[in-house]
Amino acid sequence: MLKDITFRIIPLRRLDAEEMVHEIQGYPLLIGARGQSGYDVPALIDLLLAVSRLVAERPEVEELDLNPVRLYKEGLLALDARLIQKAAVREGHGLPE
């Protein structure tokens, strides 16, 4: 909706994930702005690291989309997810070594 994106190459380090969150234009809203309390930014950073690990460890994952992710004062929830495997896996042939 905001077209507020940032990219990194996996595998992410914690510093990478922290920088990604800080770079987006919506960051002030995440930490609390205009008298509003903030959201669970550490949970968002942990999610980025978990997704990075999953994709790095599972070469059969071609695409992974978590959209939207709802961030709460404590925790988060991916409301929709889509995972696409590489064609060789979808056809039951496995991946080349």
Q: What is the pLDDT of residue 34?
A: 84
Q: What is the pLDDT of residue 4?
A: 86
Q: Is residue 4 part of a domain?
A: no
Residue 63: beta bridge partners?
84
Q: What angle do CA 46, 50, 55 make, to 5 degrees?
A: 150
Q: Is residue 47 part of a domain?
A: yes
Range of the domain at 25: 14-90
- Output the six-digit token pair for 84: 């696409």
Q: What is the pLDDT of residue 97?
A: 54
Q: What is the pLDDT of residue 79?
A: 97
**d(C-alpha 56, C-alpha 13), whole Å:** 12
Q: Is residue 96 part of a domain?
A: no
Q: Is residue 46 part of a domain?
A: yes
Read off φ and ψ for residue 23, nearest 5 degrees. -75, -25
Q: What is the pLDDT of residue 30?
A: 95
Q: What is the pLDDT of residue 95?
A: 59
Q: Is residue 7 part of a domain?
A: no
Residue 84: beta bridge partners?
63
Give the domain CATH number at 61.
3.30.470.20
**d(C-alpha 42, C-alpha 17), whole Å:** 10
Ranges of the chain with pLDDT below 50: none
Q: Is residue 5 part of a domain?
A: no
**How many domains are there within the chain?**
1
